[in-house]
Amino acid sequence: MNTDIRFYREADVFAKLSLETVIEEVEFALRREHEGTATNIPKTMTTWGERSSAHALGALDLGESLVAFKTWVNTPRGAAAVATVFDAEDGRLHAVVQAGILGAVRTAAIVGVATRRLAASGADELAIIGSGRQSLSQVLAVHAVRPLRRICVWSPRPSSRDAFAEQIRAHVPASVVVADTLRDAVRGVGIVTLVTRATEPILAADDLAAGAHLNAVGAILPSNAEFDPRLLGSAKLTVVDNLENARRSSRELREFFGDDWSRVHRLADVVAGAVAPDDTASGPTVFKPLGMGLSDSAALTAFLRVVEPGLMEAR
């Protein structure tokens, strides 16, 4: 029995985990997914009350010889998450990691990968819709792959969007403006990120600029939606992190695609160059992440490279 299990707290993750490093690790993991040497362990979840949910997912990455699981619970009164990392060869438990910060970083990192692959190369304006706890990391991820000249902020409460704009100004050397309406925020902007708790669509089908890239990060519960599904009709490319999770949990995609998901593609295949946007279309590119174990595993790999270099170098 392994008696040398490491336990890492949120403070360790905050001190050691770099968003830019996780973006690269996620991209490497996606390449291995395309090649067939890394795979997701399907997500499972349950909900109760108005806004409470419990989730679990995992991944096997033979390239790193690791198996990772993450479980978490969200309630109106609080949330917690924990990840466990095992050796794929002998089953040893290597580490237990508090995973709240890790979850936010991996969510941001996969959006960074998608934005790098799907947004126009010259895009330097971002509209960030939502000012909650994951919003700043979303801005930082986009800025890491498309250095931003201008950032426009909108969320329902004026006080929240003003405070969030100040927070962004402290971290990103860009012009940061606050919009009075969502439509004003996204007008003419090349990259739009939705990260809200909306239960009904707030982004209309004709709100986006021609050729814009949309990251739809919120609405991960099956009953929720952030954008009008009709927006997908003109999309150059619709991409998800994991098809199974998207079929189960994305109301927007389910309502538009029904039983025919042939036009929905994995980010792994985009990263590998097997899928690309239809440049003859004038609509947006759309990325809908629902959460998958491989992105958590990639974030854990990046973290372990720093705190357990001997373990990772031995692989």
Q: Same structural domain for residues 115 and 258?
A: yes
Antiparallel, parallel or unpaired: β 237-240 and 285-288: parallel
The predicted pLDDT at position 3 comes to 55
Cβ neighbourhood burial of 47 (10 Å; 0-12, 13-18, 19+): middle
Inside any domain, residue 309:
yes
Inside any domain, residue 244:
yes
The predicted pLDDT at position 1 comes to 45
The predicted pLDDT at position 238 comes to 97
Q: Same structural domain for residues 27 and 134?
A: no
- At 275 the three-state DSSP class reads coil
Q: Same structural domain for residues 150 and 273?
A: yes
d(CA 43, CA 45): 7
Q: What is the dihedral sign for C-alpha 110, 111, 113, 118?
A: positive
Q: Same structural domain for residues 284 and 303?
A: no
One digit per residue, the tens of pLDDT, for the chain of length 315 reads 455 789 999 999 999 999 999 999 999 999 999 999 999 998 888 999 988 999 999 999 999 999 999 999 999 999 999 999 999 999 999 999 999 999 999 999 999 999 999 999 999 999 999 999 899 999 999 999 999 999 999 999 999 999 999 999 999 999 999 999 999 999 999 999 999 999 999 999 999 999 999 999 999 889 999 999 999 999 999 999 999 999 999 999 999 999 999 999 999 999 999 999 988 788 999 999 998 999 999 999 999 999 988 766 655
Structure tokens at 303: 């973290």
Q: Any idea of the CA torsion for 116, 119, 123, 124, to the nearest 10 degrees?
A: -50
Q: Same structural domain for residues 297 and 214?
A: no
Q: Same structural domain for residues 185 and 222?
A: yes
What total number of domains does the chain contain? Answer: 2
| First-residue to last-residue Cα distance in the chain | 21
Domain extent for 15: 6-103+293-313
Q: What is the dihedral sign for C-alpha 111, 113, 115, 117?
A: negative
Side-by-side strand order, sheet with 175-178? 175-178, 150-154, 125-129, 191-194, 213-216, 285-288, 237-240, 264-266
Nearest 5 degrees, angle CA 32-CA 244-CA 84?
60
258-286 burial, b at 16+ Cβ within 10 Å, e below that, comes to eeeeeebbbbbebbeeebebeeeeebbbb
For residue 280, give the CATH number of its domain: 3.40.50.720
d(CA 3, CA 13): 22
Inside any domain, residue 1:
no
Q: Same structural domain for residues 215 and 241?
A: yes
